């Protein structure tokens, strides 16, 4: 999945800690082998290669689970989250690490290949089919969170009582923190990754962050990042990052991407009433004002404690300044 896995396990016995770490790595490796875009033999690559040729592709239970969850997020967000966004990611150059603003015709062709409603599913036999040549699934917004869930499950099954797993910024916790019950997890400042600007106190679940600083390019002074609005075909503007705490890794990962695309206005409505879900949006500073104060909007479950550095202009979902 093109990222780093970091796992911390607390155990009095180094031998059993090592066993837990091995199981954690195996779980993450399994998800990578099924859902990576970069492995030609993954389920996702096999489905994509067969797009348009009429063939049904059988996939592993885990892949099917992530696909059906993705379709649910697409439905609830009216397509702001869309697992078929691949052709757009490609045309903007984000698979190649070298971004470019596409020609209008290329953008139109890519847009015609995006649409979660086109995905064909045979649930009884766990098979998938993409009807148009050039369509492609992309689980980049959700698979890492799912892998965190599997890894934590594996850790628990191997006897771990306390663990923390960080897969490319998707952080899941198991058990109480070493000091006190909540894990204080820092959020990165989107323009200065070394400087945490907020802390979320996590009792359980997982925290994911989507950011315009992870994969992006600048063109004529405008930042174009890898989070795309499937309805327009263009990278989302105005939001720098969204961090989401949710009961599971898969939910936090999918929601972070979905809420990035929805933005704070519609995003606040989307998470209203979701138990155990909290979100922190950071608005993108004007490129001329990179050093200015950050504006953060905090919403969701009021039981989640989010501390924000004094220099940050904070508002709440529903407050006038935040809407």
Size of the site for Mg ion (CB under 5 A): 4
SS3 282: strand
Strand partners, 222: 219
**38 CB contacts (<8 Å, ≥6 apart)?**
1, 2
At closest approach, how far in Å is the CB of 296 from Mg ion?
19
Contact between 1 and ligand AMP by CB under 6 A: the answer reads: no
CB contact at 8 A, 20 and 163: yes
* Binding region for ligand AMP (CB under 6 A) out of 53-61, 138-146, 179-187, 268-276: 138-146
Is 151 a binder of ligand AMP (CB under 6 A)?
no
Task: Select from 291, 299, 315 the least CA-distant residue to 266.
Answer: 299
**138 binds, options ligand AMP, Mg ion, none, Cβ within 5 to 8 A by partner type:** ligand AMP
Torsion of the alpha carbons at 309, 311, 317 and 322, rounded to the nearest 10: -170
Single out the residue of 9, 32, 34, 13 nearest to residue 22, CA to CA: 9
Among 43, 253, 259, 261, binds Mg ion (CB under 5 A): 253
Does residue 163 touch ligand AMP according to CB under 6 A? no
CB 129 within 8 A of CB 56: yes
Using CB under 6 A as the binding rule, whether residue 226 contacts ligand AMP is answered as yes
123 burial level (CB within 10 Å; 0-12, 13-18, 19+): exposed
Nearest approach, Cβ of 248 to Mg ion (angstroms)? 13
Interaction partner, residue 230 (Mg ion, ligand AMP, none; CB < 5-8 Å by kind)? ligand AMP
Judged on CB neighbours under 10 Å (0-12, 13-18, 19+), 89 is buried
Q: Using alpha carbons, select from 47, 59, 234, 257 the residue that is nearest to residue 144.
A: 257
For position 256 contacting Mg ion by CB under 5 A, the verdict is: yes
**Binding partner at 226 among Mg ion, ligand AMP, none, C-beta below 5 to 8 Å by kind:** ligand AMP
Q: Which is nearer to ligand AMP, 158 or 299 (CB)?
A: 299
Binding string, 72-111, against ligand AMP, x = CB under 6 A? ---------xxx-x---x----x-----------------
Q: Residue numbers of the site for Mg ion (CB under 5 A)?
A: 141, 253, 256-257
Q: Residue numbers of the site for ligand AMP (CB under 6 A)?
A: 81-83, 85, 89, 94, 138, 140-141, 210, 215, 226-228, 230, 253, 256-257, 261
């Amino acid at each position: 999945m093109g990222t780093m896995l970091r796992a911390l396990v607390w155990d009095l016995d180094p031998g059993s800690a090592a066993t837990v770490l091995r199981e954690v790595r195996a779980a993450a490796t399994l998800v990578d082998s099924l859902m990576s875009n970069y492995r030609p033999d993954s389920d996702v690559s096999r489905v994509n290669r067969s797009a348009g040729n009429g063939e049904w592709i059988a996939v592993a239970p885990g892949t099917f689970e992530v696909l059906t969850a993705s379709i649910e997020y697409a439905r609830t967000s009216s397509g702001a989250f869309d697992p078929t966004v691949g052709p757009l990611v490609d045309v903007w150059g984000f698979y190649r690490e070298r971004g470019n603003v596409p020609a209008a015709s290329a953008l139109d062709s890519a847009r015609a290949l995006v649409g979660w409603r086109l995905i064909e599913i045979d649930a009884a036999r766990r098979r998938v089919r993409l009807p148009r040549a050039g369509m492609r699934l992309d689980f980049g917004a959700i698979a890492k969170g799912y892998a965190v869930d599997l890894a934590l499950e594996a850790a628990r099954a191997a006897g771990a009582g306390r663990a923390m797993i960080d897969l490319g910024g998707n952080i899941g916790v198991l058990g109480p923190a070493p000091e006190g019950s909540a894990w204080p997890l820092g959020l990165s400042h989107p323009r200065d990754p070394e400087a945490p600007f907020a802390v979320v106190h996590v009792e359980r679940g997982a925290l994911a962050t989507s950011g315009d600083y992870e994969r992006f390019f600048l063109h004529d002074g405008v930042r174009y990042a890898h989070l795309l609005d499937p309805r327009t075909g263009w990278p989302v503007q105005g939001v720098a990052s969204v961090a989401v705490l949710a009961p599971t890794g898969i939910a936090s990962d999918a929601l972070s991407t979905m809420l990035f695309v929805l933005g704070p206005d519609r995003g606040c409505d989307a998470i209203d009433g979701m138990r155990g879900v909290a979100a922190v949006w950071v608005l993108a500073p004007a490129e001329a004002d990179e050093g200015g104060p950050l504006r953060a909007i905090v919403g969701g479950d009021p039981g989640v404690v989010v501390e924000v550095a004094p220099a940050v202009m904070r508002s709440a979902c529903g407050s006038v300044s935040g809407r």
